[in-house]
Structure 1
Amino acid sequence: MIGRAGRSGRSAWLWLVLLVAAVIAAPVVAVVVDGLRSTGSVTLPADLAEMVVTTLLLMISVGVGTLVVGGGLAWLVTVGRFPLRNALTWMLVLPLAMPAYILGFVFLSTFDEAGPVQTLLRDAFGAGWLPPVRTLPGAALVMTLTLFPYVYLMARAAFAEQSPTTYDAARTLGASRSRALYAVVLPLARPSLAAGLALVMMEVLTDFATVQYFGVETVSVGVYKQWRGSYDFESASQLSVLVLLFAVAVLAGERLLRGRARYTQRGGRGSGPEPVHLTGARGWAATLVCLLALGVGFLLPVLRLTGWAIEEARRDADGVVDYRFAEYLANSLTVALVTALACVAVSLVVAHALRMTGGRLPRAAAQVTTFGYAVPGAVVGIGVLLAFADLDELVRAAGVEGGTGLLVTGSVAGILYAYLIRFMAPAYQAVDASLTKVNTTTTLSALSLGASPMRILTRVHLPLARSGVFVAFVLVLVDAIKELPLVLLLRPFGFSTVSVWVYELAKENYWEKAALPALVIVATAVVPVYLLFRQERLIDRHPGGTA
């Protein structure tokens, strides 16, 4: 039997996971409370209605675009057999490594009025061949090209796991391939498609850097401008509540798209629909479609950036690497490393505490720790500022003169806190997935032998979950290096990262100077994409069983 000391130690872990959940939720709660408290007492931007409409149009446009491109490509590589199909199946994930704020300036430099494409068309045929690209459709196109792999991954996995019997039965009953797709395949894949769309729309809602290239004013852009431009914190807080409402609407829409119906299939996981061999022109057409998406979303931008970097090196070999590059890269790596270590440590604590305590309350608290990934960056950023402001008031009330001082505005504490909230979800999911494989009897046996919860963590759970810990560390590290919106909102004076540097150079049209740091970010982002490569290849090799 487990003694009183053991039960007491386990209850301490319950309080610990509740504390972590409270710390993670505090900024969002602060935004909601401040928004309700200041309702009617602040002046909102005059063009707020236009911002709301623009945000809706952008989310719908990118959602439809990613559904068509990502879902269509997933169906094509699942059902079709065509040249280069095996390689393209997993290479179509590569656009995830191209941040939208990098693809955005590459796109503008190529297709804007002063770019080579429009210049060539004007010289050959005169003016007016291409519409303006600094528009909402231009921003939607760029974001679609970088975000469609979210839908592609979800749809690909859903299609590959379906049993061929349902699709074949519909075909046997006389349904055409298109009708079988809409009547049988898509309903079974609807939950996965809805989840992919929700991820895409959350990313669109979080972004307020890329859209500024295109002159698109979304609600998130309004938050950034009210805070960084006008220093109107109350108005920025009110707009953050509006952004949060958009996020809630997205999550509600995801549940609505899933529907109340439940789609199941007999026989467990299947091997996907019967493949169709595309030969001749049809096969190469399918290959061309996949190469087109891969090319415009990743390969061509990388070639363009590489060309700029080489051109800059030839022009000024000594100045190709700016003296600030090492400093900004060090800042990015330091913040990313600290964030990754913190997220992994907290994830381990939460996942371990869940296994020490059990019950609905700790499980609910564990879910709260992961909701930051579904909260737009603007809300997290403003919420962190509000949370630290409330902390400052408490410290002053306790008699500490000066409060917290420059804890937020003069350091990177705000960025680290926001990163912890933002990136806990992928870290916890990776760690928890590894600990799920640990048999419950192993933990119970250690407890019955008198091992303390801390000893079980260090001697049992941590060694058995080391693969998940490594994946969590890598995913958070790379996401933190790529992150731009939160750094723009919370960085202290004089502090910058590689992502901010790329954004500022691109905003001033210094394409060549932005090329090398942009390539560093893309190369770093390829690491987690490689992990997804392996997952996709395992799905492709073992479609009918567990990889």
Structure 2
Amino acid sequence: MVVVIPTQTLKSPLFIWAGLCAGLVILPVLWLATSWAEIRADLWQHLIETQILELIWNTLRLILGVFIGVSLLGTSLAWIVTKYEFPGRSFFEWALVLPFAIPAYVFAFIFIGTFDGASTPMNSFRQFSGLDIWPQVRNYWGVLISFVCAFYPYVYLLVRGRLKRQGQEIYEVAQTLGCKPIALFFRVALPIAWPAVVGGAGLAVMETMADFGAVSIFNYQTFTTAIYKSWFGFFSLQTAAQLASMLVVAVIVWRSIEAFMLRGRDATGEKTTRSRAVERFNLSARTGWLITFLFTLLFSITFIVPMFRLVMWVGQAWSPSVLNHFYEYLSNSLILSVAGGILVVFCSLFLAIGTRQDGRKRMKNAVRFATLGYALPGSILAVGLMMVVLFLQKKIELYTGLSLALVGGVGVLLTAYVVRFLAVGYSGAHTAVTEVQPHIGEAAQVLGVPLWRRVIKLYCPLVSPGLFAALLLVIVDILKEMPATLLLRPFGWDTLAVSIFGFTAEGDWALAALPALALVLIGLVPVYILIKRY
């Protein structure tokens, strides 16, 4: 006997939920467009005369530099680790992912505090060497190096994973046709890995456009710094929203370029069951040790030296008062990140269940829109949400006479976290829910079990390991998030990331080191998960 489940009544709440989540993402972005209804001529005249061309040029060349830099470094590292045998290869295979735990804004102040001409290491170097010449690092190249060091693991992980999934047969065929190792890379491996290169470099570019901390530390003017200055310097949320809408256009243009570069390409690169594992080339002893030396140098620059500098600064600034402030920043961070993580996972679970039970196009489109927030910089979400909340607050006061303090509350910040990181939570929740046999949920539906009871009594116990992993990833992402937290946090709710911004703005690297070290150690959790997964 075939049981017909009344899908309209049973699945409608899940679709409504997906629509609400999608609305949280779309509404702030659409609201930014309304900001152009009124323009402050004096501010825009100032921006056009002094900054706008600089903002566009700085942002464009930084995006291009990061794309090229992480593509070259990440792809070459992945190819060497996958196809060549050299001393220490198995160690570097996972060690090269560790810089992923260091946020870009932490790399930025470590880079300046170590290599700036006025830093202690450089003063010691000049005294020892007698040289009084040292290049400036507070410029485009300093920002670019910091971003490449922070974001190359995106490309490295994805390209290495794709190359490992390809069987040995394709390389053997190419070798029989006379391809040498270098030709093998350019004619076989690179076309295979191209979707992973573009995907990883695209993630790095999105992070670059969203960054506020690193560029502000270098005093490198981009759209994110201009948004902050317009809001808190010129006290014009309207102008900040207009700049944010321009950044939205940049995000859309980049996503279109990325789709164009991937047209007609297989994005999965899945390995067939009969393929043999990729075999590695043996190198001469001299070449092998040269590669080991270069990899050691890179690992030292991107992880060992930053960790050493943080520990040294922590030792210099250690005091009871510093520790007390640190506990305050840590407690604020944990409260916000855990609360935000639980909300994200809760929303993600309902979206994942809805996708599993309702495979119709409207549901998939709603979920697709709901998870677009990860592609939007935190500064855009902050400005858009603030405009929506201000509008709602004025309307509530107008029609009801109630004076609600919606602005400056924790609720707005938690909403921003949900919008920004729903894609991260949904990825883990969807993977966990798909492992549950469909007939289990269908049986509960036939018996008339309400949706909320199915979620609590049925799905939560079955998918708890996957949800916990998703929760950890979201919590770590929220802990490291700076722009939205800086712009929307309630008064007195300084977090680890916000405290780093405050200390580095004053050039006090030693005081910024303890919260930075805490973020790096916490950031090793998702790095471990990524290493195990890829």
TM-score scaled to structure 2, two decimals? 0.93
Deviation at 1:125, TM superposition (A): 4.6
- Is residue 154–residue 196 contact of structure 1 (8 Å, CA) maintained in 2? yes
Of 303, 307, 310, the residue aligned with 2:312 is 307
Aligned CA distance change for structure 1 residues 446 and 414 (closer, same or farther; 3 Å):
closer
**CA distance in structure 2 between the partners assigned to 1:16 and 1:49 by the alignment:** 42
**CA distance in structure 1 between the partners assigned to 2:208 and 2:268 by the alignment:** 31
**CA distance in structure 1 between the partners assigned to 2:348 and 2:438 by the alignment:** 19
Q: Give the counterpart letter for 2:413 in structure 1.
A: I
Aligned CA distance change for structure 1 residues 126 and 242 (closer, same or farther; 3 Å):
farther
Q: Given the alignment of the two structures, is residue 292 of structure 1 paired with residue 297 of structure 2, yes or no? A: yes
**CA distance in structure 2 between the partners assigned to 1:450 and 1:495 by the alignment:** 45
- Is residue 212–residue 483 contact of structure 2 (8 Å, CA) maintained in 1? yes
Deviation at 1:425, TM superposition (A): 0.7
Q: Give the counterpart letter for 2:372 in structure 1.
A: F
Deviation at 1:341, TM superposition (A): 0.4
Q: Give the counterpart letter for 1:336 in structure 2.
A: S
Deviation at 1:118, TM superposition (A): 2.9
**CA distance in structure 1 between the partners assigned to 2:263 and 2:357 by the alignment:** 35
Aligned CA distance change for structure 1 residues 122 and 185 (closer, same or farther; 3 Å):
same
Q: Deviations for 1:187-222, whole angstroms, at most 9, x for unmatched residues?
A: 111111111111100100011221122121011111
1:509 is paired with a residue whose SS is coil
Of 255, 265, 269, the residue aligned with 1:251 is 255
Partner residue of 1:408? Answer: 407
Partner residue of 2:416? Answer: 418
Deviation at 1:450, TM superposition (A): 3.8
Aligned CA distance change for structure 1 residues 284 and 129 (closer, same or farther; 3 Å):
farther
Partner residue of 1:241? Answer: 245
**CA distance in structure 2 between the partners assigned to 1:61 and 1:184 by the alignment:** 25
- Is residue 105–residue 511 contact of structure 1 (8 Å, CA) maintained in 2? yes
Aligned CA distance change for structure 1 residues 320 and 16 (closer, same or farther; 3 Å):
closer
Q: Given the alignment of the two structures, is residue 367 of structure 1 paired with residue 368 of structure 2, yes or no? A: yes
Aligned CA distance change for structure 1 residues 18 and 265 (closer, same or farther; 3 Å):
closer
Deviation at 1:376, TM superposition (A): 1.4
Alignment of 1:141-540 (within 5 A): 141-262=145-266, 268=272, 270-271=275-276, 273-313=278-318, 317-321=319-323, 323-402=324-403, 404=404, 406-409=405-408, 411-536=409-534
Q: Deviations for 1:277-320, whole angstroms, at most 9, x for unmatched residues?
A: 2342222222222222222112211111111222333xxx5445
Partner residue of 1:544? Answer: none
**CA distance in structure 2 between the partners assigned to 1:153 and 1:225 by the alignment:** 36
- Is residue 163–residue 265 contact of structure 1 (8 Å, CA) maintained in 2? no
**CA distance in structure 1 between the partners assigned to 2:317 and 2:138 by the alignment:** 26
Aligned CA distance change for structure 1 residues 497 and 40 (closer, same or farther; 3 Å):
closer
Aligned CA distance change for structure 1 residues 64 and 212 (closer, same or farther; 3 Å):
same
Deviation at 1:247, TM superposition (A): 0.8
- Is residue 188–residue 264 contact of structure 1 (8 Å, CA) maintained in 2? no
2:507 is paired with a residue whose SS is coil
- Is residue 91–residue 533 contact of structure 1 (8 Å, CA) maintained in 2? no
Stretches of structure 1 lacking an aligned partner (at least 5 in a row): 537-547
Deviation at 1:172, TM superposition (A): 1.2
Q: Deviations for 1:514-546, whole angstroms, at most 9, x for unmatched residues?
A: 22222111111111111112223xxxxxxxxxx
- Is residue 162–residue 269 contact of structure 2 (8 Å, CA) maintained in 1? no
More displaced 10-residue stretch of structure 1: 17-26 or 447-456: 447-456
Aligned CA distance change for structure 1 residues 133 and 529 (closer, same or farther; 3 Å):
same
- Is residue 326–residue 514 contact of structure 2 (8 Å, CA) maintained in 1? no
Q: Give the counterpart letter for 1:418 in structure 2.
A: A
2:400 is paired with a residue whose SS is coil
**CA distance in structure 1 between the partners assigned to 2:11 and 2:209 by the alignment:** 40
Stretches of structure 2 lacking an aligned partner (at least 5 in a row): none
**CA distance in structure 2 between the partners assigned to 1:487 and 1:511 by the alignment:** 21
Partner residue of 2:27? Answer: 26
**CA distance in structure 1 between the partners assigned to 2:28 and 2:244 by the alignment:** 11
**CA distance in structure 2 between the partners assigned to 1:223 and 1:501 by the alignment:** 20
- Is residue 145–residue 293 contact of structure 1 (8 Å, CA) maintained in 2? no
**CA distance in structure 1 between the partners assigned to 2:484 and 2:269 by the alignment:** 43
1:329 is paired with a residue whose SS is helix
Q: Deviations for 1:460-505, whole angstroms, at most 9, x for unmatched residues?
A: 3222211210111100111111111111222233331111112211
